[in-house]
Amino acid sequence: TLLDHLGDSIDVLTELVVTHRTAAVAAYRREDDPVAAVRRRAMGLIGACTSAGRADALYEIGDRNVPAGTAAGIGAIELTVHGWDIARACGIERPVSDPLAASDRLIAYLGRRP
């Protein structure tokens, strides 16, 4: 279920990168092979990011317009936190890297126990 949710989040981020807008609500899809689906979707997001265009573009998330850097930050937090969740579900204890999260504060702020 967590991998399916991560895949849906990746789809929302890909939509945002490609179209510069998203409703920010993922349609939950259950995949037969969620690991392969996350890998495929992540590769699609990477491909979209490599040809994203201007760094000064605005992105529409719901009813808000945000600069590219803010949209990228939102995506980075989304993927980082779900990656952390998956690691914990697999019994792996790894802190989020300091440059992104200033240690475990990001995880704690989002309601998880570091």
Per-residue pLDDT of 87-107, as tens digits, reads 999 999 877 777 666 676 766
pTM: 0.79
Per-residue pLDDT of 16-66, as tens digits, reads 989 988 876 666 778 789 999 999 999 999 999 888 777 788 999 888 899
CB 85 within 8 A of CB 1: no
63, 75, 64, 65: which is closest to 17 by C-alpha?
A: 75
Amino acid at position 101, single letter: A
